Amino acid sequence: MRKLLLISTVLVATAGAATADVAVSGDARMGLTSADGGKEFQFSSRVRIKFTLSGETDSGLKFGATFRSNDAEKANLGTAGTAFIDIPNIGKITMGDAEGAVQAAVVQFAAIGYDESGKRQELKFLTGGDTGKGTDLLYTYSSGPLAVSVSAGSPGTGSGSGATEGADDFAVGAAYVTEFWKLAAGFEDNGVHNQTVLSGSYGNGQAELKVAYGLRDDDETQYVAYGTYIFGTNTLTGFIKQDFDGLNYNGVGLSHDFGSGLAVAAGYATKEGSDDLVNFGATMSF
């Protein structure tokens, strides 16, 4: 391998010049994963590359885009990856596989274990790019501790991520963040259902607790409570969840960081009525 980019720690300054650049980063993992509660394990590995494009004009207007190499064809069509323009004092406009405004505002629950453990910790959103459909628009504005967001699926076509035929989807969200606390709420409507989400988190740098609650217009509810505790270079995570169908989930994850991008992690996640997921292995970021 003749071409080694030492790009993680080197930043060449170009005094006074506006720039437009491409960054290449990556991640990988390898380990064992079980979909039947640990009776049988399978080998599981993954390698990915992420491209991050960024630019800034002399007047301070920032712009950029990002996608993963395995999404290259979808990014070319606008259904994966995102592009954005960030205008000082006006806000940031993101298009593509953009998050809905609720997801952008409320507290996030990172996947646990070495391979995401089925993402069983996730709150369900009705709108936005994570639903995997169409091209969405997200506008966010921050001022001191307050951030607001508004999003919409592609208008008039039912092509937005949460949209159904002939019904536009949209969402609004707001978050208030202090050094220790975050309080956030949002409302989203995908033309079939709407959902109101309330969330909060408290963290002191060593321990963090996050909760989120969603109320759908048919009175069904979902909630997640998620705790993180850091001791040394280890991180312990646990969650409980109930989805709109009333099914209960819980899970626990532990990771140990070797530094330089290498960590080992283990995860265990349950879902009422389904087999438990168990996994452990190494994660790498480059």
Structure tokens that stand for 206 in this block: 């060593």
* Interaction of residue 245 with a copy of itself, rule CB under 8 A: no
Question: Quick one: 1 or 273, whose CB is closer to a copy of itself?
Answer: 1
206 lines the binding site for a copy of itself (CB under 8 A): no
Question: Beta strand pairing status for 181-189 and 20-34?
Answer: unpaired
* CA proximity to 65, closest of 103, 90, 98: 98
How far, CA to CA in Å, does 216 sit from each of 166, 188, 223, 233? 21, 10, 11, 39
From candidates 132, 146, 192, 258, binder to a copy of itself by CB under 8 A: 258
Binding residue for a copy of itself (CB under 8 A) from 117, 131, 135, 279?
A: 135
Q: Please, which of residues 114-133 interact with a copy of itself by CB under 8 A?
A: none
| Binding window for a copy of itself (CB under 8 A); candidates: 80-88, 116-124, 176-184, 210-218 | 80-88
> Of 176, 187, 223, 286, which lies in the binding site for a copy of itself, with binding defined by CB under 8 A?
286
Among positions 54, 164, 196, 274, the unique one binding a copy of itself when judged by CB under 8 A? 54
Q: Is 52 in the site for a copy of itself (CB under 8 A)?
A: yes
Helix (H, G, I), strand (E, B) or coil at 239: strand
Within 16-45, the residues that bind a copy of itself by CB under 8 A are 17-26, 28-31, 40-45
- Whole-angstrom Cα distance, residue 257 to residue 104? 27
Q: Which stretch binds a copy of itself (CB under 8 A): 88-96, 103-111, 248-256, 266-274?
A: 88-96
| Contacting a copy of itself within 143-162 (CB under 8 A) | 153-157, 159-160
Of the pair 21, 272, the CB lying nearest a copy of itself is at 21
Number of residues that bind a copy of itself (CB under 8 A): 90
> Min. distance of Cβ 146 from a copy of itself in angstroms?
25
User: Among 59, 143, 178, 204, which residue sits at the site for a copy of itself (rule: CB under 8 A)?
Assistant: 59
- Per CB under 8 A, the list member of 85, 183, 211, 252 interacting with a copy of itself is 85
Task: Give yes or no for residue 81 binding a copy of itself (CB under 8 A).
Answer: yes
Q: Which of 159, 14, 30, 133 is nearest to 74 (CA)?
A: 133
